[in-house]
Structure 1
Amino acid sequence: MLIHISYEIIISIIVYLILMLIIGWYGYKKTASHSDYTLGGRGLTPGVAALSAGASDMSGWLMLALPGSMYITGLGAGWLALGLIIGAYLNWLFLAPRLRTYTETANDSITIPAFLENRFFDGSKLLRIISGLIIILFFTVYVSSGMVSGGVVFESVLGIDYHTSLLIVASVTIVYTLFGGFLAVSWTDVVQGSVMMLALLFVPTFALAEVGGLTASFDEIRSIDPNLLDIFRGVSVIGIIGSLAWGLGYFGQPHIIVRFMAMRTASDAKPARRIGMTWMILSIVGAMFTGLIGRAYLNGEGIFLDPDVGSQHETVFVVLGEMLFHPYVIGFIFSAILAAVMSTISSQLLVTSSSLTEDLYKTFLKRKPGDKELVFLGRGAVLVVALIALALSWNPDSSILELVSYAWAGFGAAFGPVMLLSLYWRGMTKWGAFAGMLTGAVVVIVWANTNLYQWFGMDERVYELLPGFIIASLAIFIVSKVTSNDKRVAGGFTDFKKKLKENK
Structure 2
Amino acid sequence: MKLWSIIAIGVYLLILLTIGYYSYKKTSNLSDYMIGGRGLGPLVTALSAGASDMSGWMLMGLPGAVYLTGISNIWIGIGLTVGAYFNYLLLAPRFRVYTEIANDSMTIPDYLENRFKDKSNILRLVSGIVILVFFILYVSSGLVAGGKLFVDTYKLTYTMGVVVTLSVVVLYTYYGGFLAVSLTDFFQGTLMFVCLITVPVVAYMNIGVDSGTFVNKVKAIDPKLFDIFRGTSIASIISLLAWGLGYFGQPHIIVRFMAIKSAKELKSARRIGIGWMAIGLLGAVVSGIIGLVYFTEHNTPLSDPETVFLRLGDILFHPFITGIILSAVLAAIMSTISSQLLVCSSSITKDFYLAFFNKEASEKQQMVIGKLAVLVVAAFATVLAYLPNKTILDIVGQAWAGFGSSFGPVLLLSLYWKRMTKWGALSGMIVGGITVLLWIVLGLSSFLYEMIPGFSLSLLSVIIVSLLTKKPDSDVSNQFNKMENILTDMK
Q: TM-score, normalised by structure 2?
A: 0.96
Match of 1:482 in 2: 468
Query: Could you tell me how far apart the structure 1 residues matched to 2:358 and 2:388 are?
Result: 42
The aligned counterpart of 2:227 is 230
Label 1:260 to 1:203 Cα distance change in 2 as closer, same or farther (>3 A): same
Gapped regions of structure 1 (runs ≥ 5): 454-459
Contact 1:63 1:337 in 2 (8 A): yes
Give 1:209's aligned residue: 205
Tell me the distance in 1 between the aligned counterparts of 2:333 and 2:61.
12
For 1:106-185, what aligned pairs fall within 5 Å after superposition?
106-185=102-181
Deviations 1:136-170, CA, capped at 9 Å, x for gaps: 12212222231222112211333112222221111
User: Which letter maps to 1:213?
Assistant: D
CA distance in 2, matches of 1:18, 1:182: 18
Per-residue deviation, 1:380: 1.6
Instruction: Report the more deviating stretch, 294-303 or 114-123.
Output: 294-303
Alpha carbons of 1:16 and 1:220: their partners in 2 closer, same or farther (altered >3 Å)? same
Contact 2:141 2:395 survives alignment (8 Å): no
How far does the alpha carbon of each residue in 1:184-223 deviate from its partner, in whole angstroms, 9 at most, with x for none?
A: 0000001111111111110100111122232222121122
Q: Give how far 1:302 is off.
A: 2.7
Matched residue, 1:241: 238
Map residues 54-133 of structure 1 onto 2, 5 A cutoff: 54-133=50-129
The question of whether the paired residues in 1 share the 8 Å contact of 2:419 and 2:472 is answered with no
Equivalent AA in structure 2 for residue 472 of structure 1: S
Q: Quick one: which amino acid aligns to residue 109 of structure 1?
A: S
Equivalent position amino acid for 1:408 in 2: W
- The match for 2:388 among 386, 397, 403 is 397
TM-superposed CA distance for 1:377, in Å, is 1.8
**Structure 1 contact 290–317 (Cα < 8 Å) conserved:** yes
Relative to structure 1, the CA distance from residue 210 to residue 175 in structure 2 (aligned partners, 3 Å threshold; closer, same or farther) is: same
CA drift at 1:398: 9.0
Distance 2:159 2:293 in 1: 35
Indicate conservation of the 8 Å contact 2:59/2:329, yes or no.
yes
Q: Which residue of 2 aligns with 1:15?
A: 11
Q: CA deviation at 1:91?
A: 0.6
Please state if 1:434 is matched with 2:426.
yes
Q: CA deviation at 1:339?
A: 0.5
Shift of 1:449: 2.6
Cα deviation, residue 499, structure 1: 1.7
Residue number in structure 2 paired with 1:456: none
User: What CA distance in whole angstroms lies between the structure 1 residues aligned with 2:468 and 2:322?
Assistant: 60
**Inter-partner Cα distance in structure 2 for 1:260 and 1:121:** 22
Q: Describe the SS at the equivalent of 1:228.
A: coil
CA offset digits 1:6-27 (Å, max 9, x no partner): 1111111111111110000001
Higher mean displacement: 113-122 or 290-299 = 290-299
Q: Which runs of 4+ in 1 moved over 3 A?
A: 401-405
Correspondence for 1:303 among 288, 300, 303 = 300
Separation in 1 of the partners of 2:380 and 2:300? 41
Task: Classify the secondary structure of the residue corresponding to 1:226.
Answer: coil
The answer to whether the 8 Å contact 1:70/1:77 transfers is yes
- Pick aligned residue for 2:318 from 316, 326, 336: 326
The answer to whether the 8 A contact 1:43-1:264 is kept is: yes
Q: CA deviation at 1:370?
A: 2.0
- Picking from 339, 345, 348, the partner of 1:356 is 348
Deviates more, 1:370-379 or 1:13-22: 370-379
Cα distance change on mapping 1:366 and 1:324 into 2, 3 Å: closer
Provide the C-alpha distance between the structure 1 equivalents of 2:325 and 2:396, rounded to a whole number of angstroms.
Answer: 26
Query: Structure 2: how far apart are the matches of 1:141 and 1:292?
Result: 30
Paired residue type of 1:492: Q
| Cα distance in 1 for residues equivalent to 2:396 and 2:70 | 25
What TM-score comes out, normalization by structure 1 length?
A: 0.93
Measure, in 1, the Cα distance between the counterparts of 2:380 and 2:216. Answer: 50
> Which residue of 323, 333, 345 corresponds with 1:341?
333
| Structure 1 pair 287–189 and aligned structure 2 pair: CA distance change class (3 A) | same
Check the 8 A contact 2:188/2:335 in 1, yes or no.
yes
Stretch of structure 1 that moved more, 479-488 or 422-431: 479-488
**Structure 2 unpaired stretches of 5+:** none
Distance 2:443 2:253 in 1: 31
Contact 1:148/1:396, CA 8 A, preserved across alignment: no
Match for residue 371 of structure 2?
A: 379
Give the Cα separation in 2 of the matches to 1:431 and 1:59. Answer: 34
The letter of the residue matching 1:389 is A
Choose which of 250, 253, 259 in structure 2 pairs with 1:253. 250
Q: Secondary structure at the match of 2:224?
A: helix
Indicate conservation of the 8 Å contact 2:170/2:338, yes or no: yes
Q: What is the CA-CA distance between 1:366 and the residue it aligns to?
A: 5.2
Alignment partners' CA distance in 2, 1:407 and 1:418: 17
Cα drift, residue 297 of structure 1: 2.5
One-letter code of the match for 2:110?
A
Shift of 1:396: 5.1
State the Cα distance separating 1:316 from its structure 2 match.
Answer: 1.2
Paired residue type of 1:15: V
Partner residue in 2 for 1:464: 450
- The residue type equivalent to 1:490 in the other structure is S
Aligned to 1:499: 486
User: Do 2:42 and 2:260's aligned partners in 1 also have CA atoms closer than 8 Å?
Assistant: yes
> Do 1:37 and 1:180's aligned partners in 2 also have CA atoms closer than 8 Å?
yes
CA offset at residue 229 of structure 1?
Answer: 1.1
Say which SS state the counterpart of residue 301 (structure 2) adopts.
coil
Partner letter of residue 232 of structure 2? Answer: V
Report the alpha carbon displacement of residue 451 of structure 1 after superposing the two structures with TM.
Answer: 6.7
For residues 42 and 33 of structure 1, what CA distance do their matches in structure 2 show? 12
Distance 1:304 1:397 in 2: 23
Q: Which residue of 2 aligns with 1:457?
A: none
Mapped contact 1:204–1:286 kept (Cα < 8 A): yes
CA–CA distance in structure 2, aligned partners of residues 140 and 239 of structure 1: 27
The residue type equivalent to 1:397 in the other structure is P
- How many residue pairs align between the two structures? 488
User: Helix, strand or coil for the counterpart of 1:122?
Assistant: coil
Q: Distance in 1 between matches of 2:292 and 2:444?
A: 38
Deviation of 1:404 after TM superposition, in Å, equals 5.5
Structure 2 distance, partners of 1:236, 1:486, is 43
CA distance in 1, matches of 2:210, 2:253: 37
Change (3 A) 1:392 1:442: closer
Deviations 1:458-486, CA, capped at 9 Å, x for gaps: xx621110111111101000000010012
| Residue 414 (structure 2) aligned to one of 413, 419, 422 | 422
The 1-side partners of 2:43 and 2:396 are apart by 30
CA distance in 2, matches of 1:494, 1:428: 13
RMSD, aligned CA: 1.8
